[in-house]
Structure 1
């Protein structure tokens, strides 16, 4: 009698294509429904760590705040991606995009993204603080916010001459003139 495999086999990226760094946006879009969330970095699939409840609460509260306060023509989104190129995609925690984007899409092109927001977690610190802002800036995304937890603090950056410059930060109230005039009480996004 031989043993038969039972249960579900978890998806993982093709190891040969990973080493060759040849994955594209098409590969990500073709993933099975049970695949984990992935980002694509220069042709390599990176599994996105599962967020904590606090992380998701912050992102959800910020999405809700932006949804209520953003002007007509802008749309707040969560758990959707940004296609920076054919071989690089990111999954920001919150996006503010051009409202004209079709609602049935998972990825927005960088030119349609007004604001990308990353909520920093222990497993994503380096990527959210260094790598992603550099990529977002290179793609021309005009605004980037980094949300630090424990204590909650929001850092807002604007794209100036191809690089992000810090324009405001606060643990109490974020006041900005762009991407639209806003006064965000940090308590409104605190779990």
Structure 2
């Protein structure tokens, strides 16, 4: 959130702030707040990573949630093709289940992520930027094999009950989701009328 003029907390002035929210059962809370001066420098004295108390979603918060639901990376994504976790292409002896990933759908929302017939309820989501070298070291793969050449990649980290997934936002409307050891190359579809599948498979 940016302000038209400087605001202050105590005797420390700030010009903008970024809040990270957690949502659960219609309630929300702020879990992280970062403040910046007029030059865009972070003011460490104001930064807080202490979660606040849960609050019922007000009319303003409800509008914010609705806006989030309609913005990437949230929405329905169509899987155009897939690759294995080592970056290799589909194989001639792939199982029917693996082949069926193509033209399937992934559903991403702040309270549920579903792909490849598995889902995660109440995930922890973290949107940010990661360096290419950091990702390649973590995944032991060259991002060039996925068609990612940029040195910095916009990502959505998805943590769910001890397991981690990663979504690369490669361009407007395009993304690559690392899910259950497979890379899913996806295209975002029109969000209007979007609903989750009626059955959640865990």
Task: Name the TM-score, length of structure 1 as normaliser.
Answer: 0.28
- CA radius of gyration, larger in: 2
Task: Name the TM-score, length of structure 2 as normaliser.
Answer: 0.27
Greater helix content: 1
Greater strand content: 2
